[in-house]
A and B are shown apart, each in its own frame.
Chain A
Amino acid sequence: MSSAPQVRRIGLRPRRKNLNGNRPGWVTYLILTVVLILSAYPLYYSFLLGSSDATTIARTPIPSLIPQGNFVENAARVMSSDIKFWTSVLNSVIVAVVTALSVVFFSTLAGYSFAKLSFRGRGPLLVFVVATMAVPTQLSIVPMFIVMAKLGWTGRLEAVIVPGMVTAFGVFWMTQYLESALPFELVEAARVDGCSMFRTFWHVALPAARPAAAMLGLFTFIGSWTSFFWPFIVLGSANPTLPVSIQLLQASYFKDYSLILAGVTMAALPLIVVFIIAGRQLVAGVMQGAVKG
């Protein structure tokens, strides 16, 4: 396709000094370090408490910075306790992956339409999409549950995946990104070359959207992974996702925080992995600069 050579022109931006002629100084790195410490502390804290034991936690309000070393033991307790740990990990993976892929695809599809295609009602429909984010969702729990019950989906993963397959946030985000990141002439060029609408989308819009799509995918994945209340209501502890089963570690009147936070830490680890994968995508160049250059 004629757009292919243009696409290939995009590469990683060459590593060079800042426009202003100097490398970022130590102030920059200092700020970043402070921010990183603040950001990482909650995760580290949950690791600290997860490596401790109930007695120590009860005694010392501020944990020492050095982990105590019980983490493996607590992790084993988490996995062997009655909470269907591995089932819930599998469920969470399925739900989060499918949801993220689906949201990215459908949001980009819709975003491309709103951003680059002209059709009647485009403006009002986009506003409508944005407005749909505005309603408080507490009450929709009951009607949604009724719908799921009628469909026979309570206790099944569909009930959690399907409502989240495309989001207003995703559509809005991709619309906004593609408006400025995808030059109209690229689309035109593809159409002139005879591409159908869908091929245009597939070969032109999707690549252009890659950084934003990676971001959206990452956010969606994390959001889906950490979501609790709806999976709890509709799946329950019979077929749980990870946050639901981790919450079960709180069962009993006395809460053993070393166990609970060991579970929380374990639940966060897969997300770190996803970070690293998606992070590469986010750093890998942007089309815009190459086209305009």
Chain B
Amino acid sequence: MPTVTTVGAAPAAAPTPTLRQRLSRWDVRISPYLYISPFFILFALVGLFPLLYTFWVSLHQWNLIGGQGKFVGIGNYSYVLEQPQFWVGLRNTFSIFLLSGVAQTLGALALAAVLDQNIRAKTFWRMGVLLPYVVAPVAVGVIFSKMFADQSGLFNALLDKVGIGAIGWHADVLPSHIAIATMVNFRWTGYVTLIFLAAMQAIPREVYEAALMDGAGRVRQFFSVTIPMLRPTIIFVVITATIGGLQIFDEPRVFDQSGLGGSDRQWMTVTMYIYELGWGPQKNFGRAAAVSWVLFLIIILVGLINFMITRRIAASDAPKSPPPEAVATGTGANPDAAAAHRSTNGAATGDAPGPRHPEVTL
């Protein structure tokens, strides 16, 4: 057990700090910055540099192969905002995002609640829900193509038998969004479920016991105990789901063989539009960069909105920093994990694993 000792000089009166004390104080002051620095250092390399580079590119005429052209200022931005395709992409992105995000969050909450019980073979069931996440996008693409094919697909065959008739999954806008949302939900619901489950496991049983003694049934417990205690996690999920959901790329890209989002751009998302501008026939890196920045700002904005909406869902407002007493007594007021949410000009992470991180899969 380390004890406070003096080093070097003869023991002095209390006011003069010993070397050890000074070291300790430095330890306290510097350590936090030291501990968070790995992230920021790495981020400077793989996030900040690409971000600034992208901004620089967006201000120029820039061909992917040809390189830097002349300075055009906001020319790329105004071009992009005038393109109907950009707005179609935005529409599709939001539509798919809502269809998938809401379904996933609610479904995952319900599923986590089911899994939170004292079931046999816990590991088996809990890991089971994560299985879709494990399967390579190639396989998922093949399976869902075969299921959603317009003429030779499983779903349309079934619909025909039942008498409803085939749906144009690759022809009409909303069906294509539903199909893609299904693919996304399939892959990610288990993931979100486990996140909620981990948080649910952290809720002390005593709180449930107290509620039970107050006469609350299971459903009431869920809404009055579980959800409020889960608020930070729900916020976390909503924010990460928003950020990831607005960048959906892989699933719509493999939905058909051309990867362009349908002959009428029925399901082209904004990230697909970026990729098409930059790597497609145009190879217009400058325009692609402009769309990237616009999307970035939109994500920040929508993230903020979602955060504020989700905050209201649970009961009380909580102070930002955790006062020790509140945490120690384990009462319901959990501090907000995400602290104050002010917008910043943030930046990109590298190609790191995370939720819906847009792996540019082909």
A272 to B132, CA, bound (A): 11
Instruction: State whether the Cβ of A172 lies closer than 8 Å to any Cβ in chain B.
Output: yes
In the complex the two chains form, is A134's CB within 8 Å of B243's CB?
yes
A61 to B150, CA, bound (A): 13
In the complex the two chains form, is A29's CB within 8 Å of B119's CB?
yes
Given A113-B36, A143-B53: A222 and B324 interface contact (C-beta under 8 Å): no
A32 to B112, CA, bound (A): 11
* Chain A residue contacts of B239, Cβ below 8 A: 130, 172
In the complex the two chains form, is A289's CB within 8 Å of B134's CB?
no
In the complex the two chains form, is A283's CB within 8 Å of B51's CB?
no
**Closest A residue by C-beta to B119:** A24
* A-B CB contacts (within 8 Å), total count: 399
* Chain B residue contacts of A193, Cβ below 8 A: 1
Per-residue CB contact flags for chain B residues 48-82 toward chain A (1 = under 8 Å, else 0) read 01110110010000001000000000000000000
* Chain A residue contacts of B24, Cβ below 8 A: 196
In the complex the two chains form, is B35's CB within 8 Å of A109's CB?
yes
In the complex the two chains form, is B334's CB within 8 Å of A135's CB?
no
Instruction: State whether the Cβ of B10 lies closer than 8 Å to any Cβ in chain A.
Output: no
Instruction: State whether the Cβ of A179 lies closer than 8 Å to any Cβ in chain B.
Output: yes
Contacting B346 at CB < 8 Å: which of A17, A40, A109, A134? A134
Instruction: State whether the Cβ of A204 lies closer than 8 Å to any Cβ in chain B.
Output: no
Per-residue CB contact flags for chain A residues 152-182 toward chain B (1 = under 8 Å, else 0) read 0000000010111111111111011101110
In the complex the two chains form, is A169's CB within 8 Å of B53's CB?
no
Instruction: State whether the Cβ of A268 lies closer than 8 Å to any Cβ in chain B.
Output: yes
Instruction: State whether the Cβ of B166 lies closer than 8 Å to any Cβ in chain A.
Output: no
Instruction: State whether the Cβ of A86 lies closer than 8 Å to any Cβ in chain B.
Output: no
Size range of the interface on B? 35 or more
Given A15-B118, A99-B353: A282 and B123 interface contact (C-beta under 8 Å): yes
Instruction: State whether the Cβ of B202 lies closer than 8 Å to any Cβ in chain A.
Output: yes
Spell out B's residues near A (CB within 8 Å): 1-4, 24, 27-29, 31-33, 35-36, 38-39, 42-43, 45-47, 49-51, 53-54, 57, 64, 111, 114-115, 117-119, 122-123, 125-140, 142-143, 146, 152-154, 186, 190-191, 194-195, 198-199, 201-206, 208-209, 212, 217-218, 232-233, 236, 239-240, 243-244, 247, 249, 270-271, 274-275, 278, 285, 288-289, 292, 295-296, 299-300, 303, 320-322, 324, 327-328, 330, 334-335, 337-355, 357-362
Q: Which 7 A-B pairs have the closest CB atoms?
A: A223-B353, A131-B346, A163-B350, A140-B50, A169-B354, A176-B337, A135-B348
- A sample of 22 cross-chain residue pairs with beta-carbon separation below 8 angstroms, ordered by A number, consists of A42-B186, A99-B352, A110-B38, A118-B32, A125-B36, A127-B338, A134-B346, A137-B50, A140-B348, A164-B351, A169-B349, A169-B353, A179-B322, A180-B202, A180-B334, A185-B328, A211-B202, A219-B191, A261-B142, A276-B123, A282-B123, A286-B202
